[in-house]
Structure 1
Amino acid sequence: MSMDMIYDVLLLILLPILLVIVSFNFLRHKQCCQREKKRLPPGNMKFPLIGETIEFFNAQRRNQLFEEFVHPRILKYGKIFKTRIMGSPTVVVNGSEANKFFLTNEFKLVKSSWPSSSVQLMGTDSIMEKDGERHRFLRSLIGTSLSYAGLENLVPKLCNHVRFFLESKWQGHGNTISLYRSTKILTFSIVFECLLGIKVEQGMLETFERVLEGVFSPAIMFPGSRFSRAKKARMEIEKALTKAVREKRKEMEENLHNEKDGMLLSKLVNGLIHGEINEKEVIDNVVLLVFAAHDTTSFAIAMTFRMLAEHPKCYRKLLQEHIDIANNKRREENLSINDIKKMKYTWQVARESMRLFPPIFGSFRKAITDIEYEGYTIPKGWKVLWTTYGTHYNEEYFKEAQSFKPSRFEEEIPQYAFVPFGGGPRVCAGYQLAKINILILVHYVVTRYEWFLLHPQEPIIMDPLPLPSLGMPIRIFPKQN
């Protein structure tokens, strides 16, 4: 039999088999596509790769992400919809039920998914990037200093620090102060000096700010780019923190691993000495903590004062709460944790301010398996974006949601409806520190100063986090006691 005949016979045998295989795969692919199309959330993916990225970032830049991007799509598609952002197919979810489902299923169904630039600048060994047991261990190590009980002993130190700051920086009758900038400097120094025990050197805050500028920019090392400048600043920070960590380790080893000063850095270095944590994990988590504990807190403080200025009746009620506390103290006597607990209305005001002006918009997760939710399938590898505004401005959870009503927090708020600090295993580790910072600063400002906003309707912008566009200037007049 010739070779041609052999080929003909083989072709006659194989061709039907190939046709069956191709037909089977085609039908299966068609069925899968139909099934996926039917089960995927509604929405518009628009163009390949780009998708709706331009619309997303334009709205974010104007701090109108909810109003211009999310809300119109909720009206069109419902609480869950699909889009494409930064090249990734993304499902945007809204509502307390969605927040709870995705935030509590961290490590099981989803995992944290930050842009490459954020990961590189915050640190690959921070708790932001850790999963499972390693995340739980590091969070526990950090959490001992940041829990309400752990911060109790820190209250007198915070009081001294805040009073000294106000007395040295807010002097003068009728002076104009940038409230936002002032509180950024204050909260930054609190994290370093009161929590970590590291002295703030000149230029440190500005270096950290250069890092922040690049966290959401494209991770391209082009000379002069935001990311390039941020990366260079990150290296400066790393060098300074490495020196501080090694000096602390030497000091502790010479004192038989003594960590009785209660500082968070001492606890981390103690773990380093015992081989529970490595040096890079110490540095990366300190960097993350500094950003988490001062930038968002300073914005929350600024918005609290803005709301008080716009609602004088609420301000009078809050002021009376602090006068009652101050009347039971000597002028230079520090607040106690019991005094902090008495500031119930003040915390309602702060929470309502954070509801209307959340310090974070939300965050991305990545599906690590196919997820069945609300009758839809979110395929493995897709991103999930949950938002604070998706519940904070929802009439289902907050009646007259556009109105400022601190008293709404007298009643129980639905779980995962109020999420300025996130939730689940990745809830912000520093939220108790933020709370105490806000309450202590409000106390000393309202009891010692008359103050007035110069631009009550000052626009809020994003760069890359929300901030008052003019720095929220206020005019201060020290009270005569």
Structure 2
Amino acid sequence: MMKLPSGEMGLPWIGETVEFYKAQRSNQLFDSFFQPRIKKHGNIFKTKLMGSPTVVVNGAAANKFFMSNEFKLVVSSWPTSSVELMGKNSIMEKQGDSHRCLRGIITSTLNVSGLTAMVPRMCSSIHNHLQKNWQDKEEISLYRSTKMLTFTIVLECLFGIGIEPETLFGVFERVLEGVLSPPVNIPGTKFGRAKKARSEIEKKLVGEIRRKREAMEGGRDEEDGLLLSKLVAALIRGEITEDEVVDNVVLLVFAAHDTTSYAITMTFKMLANHPDSYSLLLKEHEDIAKNKRPGEALTFEDVKKMEYTWQVARETMRLNPPIFGSFRKATTDIEFEGFTIPRGWKVLWTTYGTHYDETYFPDPMSFNPSRFADPIQSYAFIPFGGGPRLCAGYQLAKLNILVLVHYVVTRYNWSLVYPDERILMDPLPFPSKGMPIKISPKSHHN
């Protein structure tokens, strides 16, 4: 006899979807959806979300079990609308060998030599962005600004794509709005608008990919170590298709810019509310800046010295995870901790299940970056997921956060306009007012 976890399945078909969405919109998923159910049923409970019976699992052991059994017991399972908009040929949908092949190409761009080459490029993208958008301003929207910047960095520093970021930014934003909406493809619906925007992006990218291919085949373009060249080289060798190149560019631009810009914005919010942490962080960056000539770019070695800054960023992502978790689908009946999860059911692991648990993080609701000075239990801190599906761009996100923090804190005095600004979600978290900050240039800076 199968023993299912306890929990409520809610209304027929709808299940507990309405409560889930309501909690999500107000960024109260932990307080008003997960926590009351964990209290009542324990760390593993069943529910019904978006038409699927779902088992929610919490804790480092559960995270490790489900993340490391990817492709064996579970497969990634995103809502139809997400798959349609990100692309069926993206790494998020691929299994087994084709997943490994694509992932290998992506991670080879983000190895040590790739990252070393990327730092000066990133410095110049950030420098240009600040000059263009912060110069002579007294107040800016930090969230809007970092979204535009992370978007630019992905296009320029990761892919080496020469399209003006401004022309694509709004189109990508329209696609994102439809990612978790009902997949109804008629004009005027969120999904309809998103599909239209998606085909606009596709046209531009296909043009870019074909130009690149022609240049590489004609010997006019060197393989420059950037991701677009690597994907096109694999395309020329016949290892992947043009659709796979397009879908993975689209997916990575999304994955990289939205979550990273939220992490950066919240890092500044935390620093503003914790002046002691801010003075420690500032000292770290002033020491690095002291050894630079005016206008000299940072190096990968400089970034490695930003240890405390990375503790601050991780503690920020622990308290404000950019994603709440991720859905998997059981490909077979799974026995776990005395329960059976039937084949075909969804499994949802959550970041809150460990990030807010005092077993892993004593006094979990307080901001304490130095807890990351010691090793953290594996699979307890999971803002980037884990296992074979660990976020492929996580090294890029890390660089992006550290380098931008460096330029802002060494060049500007800044303060939050609304220290208690609310965070909302749709479908990802964002500050309700765009996190405006007041800025003034520091008199002497590199």
Task: Report TM bin, short chain.
Answer: over 0.9
Correspondence for 2:95: 131
* Aligned length, in residue pairs: 443
Q: Distance in 2 between matches of 1:369 and 1:257?
A: 48
Q: Which of residues 64, 74, 87 is equivalent to 2:51?
A: 87
Tell me the distance in 1 between the aligned counterparts of 2:353 and 2:327: 14
Residue aligned with 1:224, SS: coil
- 1:447 lines up with 2:395 in the alignment: no
Which residue number corresponds to residue 86 of structure 2? 122
Runs (4+) of structure 1 exceeding 4 A deviation are none
Any idea what SS the aligned residue of 1:40 has? coil
RMSD: 1.0
Unaligned runs of 5+ in 1: 1-34
Q: Alignment partner of 1:366: what SS? A: strand
Q: Pick from 316, 324, 329: which aligns with 1:353? A: 316
Question: Of residues 427, 438, 441 in structure 2, which corresponds to 1:478?
Answer: 441
SS of structure 2 residue aligned to 1:480: coil
Check whether the contact 1:96–1:417 (CA below 8 A) recurs between aligned residues.
yes
Match of 2:116 among 131, 152, 163: 152
SS at match of 1:262: coil
How far apart are 1:149 and its partner, in Å? 3.7
Please report the TM-score for the alignment, with normalisation by the length of structure 2. Answer: 0.98
1:270 to 228, 233, 237: 233
DSSP-derived class of the 2:15 partner? coil
- The structural deviation recorded for 1:256 is 7.1
Structure 1 CA distance, aligned partners of 2:227 and 2:172? 19
Query: 1:85 Cα deviation (Å)?
Result: 0.6
Deviation string 1:60-79 (CA, Å, 9 cap, x unpaired) is 11111111111100000000
For the Cα contact (< 8 Å) 2:421–2:432, is it kept in 1? yes
Deviation at 1:317, TM superposition (A): 0.5
CA distance in 1, matches of 2:62, 2:196: 39
Q: Quote the sequence identity (%).
A: 65
CA deviations over 1:90-132 (Å, ceiling 9, x no partner): 0000001110000000000000000000000000000100001
1:325 aligned residue (274, 278, 288): 288
How far does residue 142 in structure 1 lie from its aligned partner after superposition?
1.1
Determine which of 33, 42, 58 is the counterpart of 1:69: 33
Output the amino acid matched with 1:82.
Answer: K
Alignment check: 8 A CA contact 1:148 1:432 kept: no
How many angstroms does 1:287 deviate by? 0.2
Q: Give per-residue Cα distances to partners, 1:190-245, cap 9 Å, x unaligned.
A: 11112211134343110000000001001011220000000000000001100000
Q: Distance in 2 between matches of 1:99 and 1:105?
A: 10
Distance 2:16 2:50 in 1: 8
Q: Distance in 2 between matches of 1:84 and 1:317?
A: 46
Q: In the aligned structure 2, how far is the partner of 1:402 from the partner of 1:390?
A: 13
Q: Which whole-Å deviations, capped at 9, do the CAs of 1:12-46 have from their partners, x for residues lacking one?
A: xxxxxxxxxxxxxxxxxxxxxxx23xx10010112
Q: What is the aligned partner in structure 1 of residue 154 from structure 2?
A: 191
Aligned-pair CA distance for 1:343: 0.3
Distance across 2 between alignment mates of 1:381 and 1:442: 44
Q: Select which of 165, 172, 191 maps to 1:227.
A: 191
Q: What CA distance in whole angstroms lies between the structure 2 residues aligned with 1:184 and 1:336?
A: 23
Task: Give the corresponding residue for 1:467.
Answer: 430
Q: Distance in 2 between matches of 1:404 and 1:310?
A: 10
The 8 Å contact of residues 355 and 418 in structure 1, kept in 2 or not, is answered as: yes
Given that 1:257 and 1:270 are in contact with CA atoms closer than 8 Å, whether structure 2 keeps it comes out as no
The farther-off stretch of 367-376 and 185-194 is 185-194
Structure-2 separation of matches of 1:150 and 1:371: 40
Alignment match, 1:56: 20
Q: Is 1:209 matched with 2:168? A: no
Displacement after TM superposition at 1:257 (Å): 7.0
1:251 aligns with 2:218: no
- Please list every run of 5 or more consecutive structure 2 residues that lacks an aligned counterpart in the other structure: none
Q: Which amino acid in the other structure matches residue 138 of structure 1?
A: L
SS at 1:221 equivalent: coil
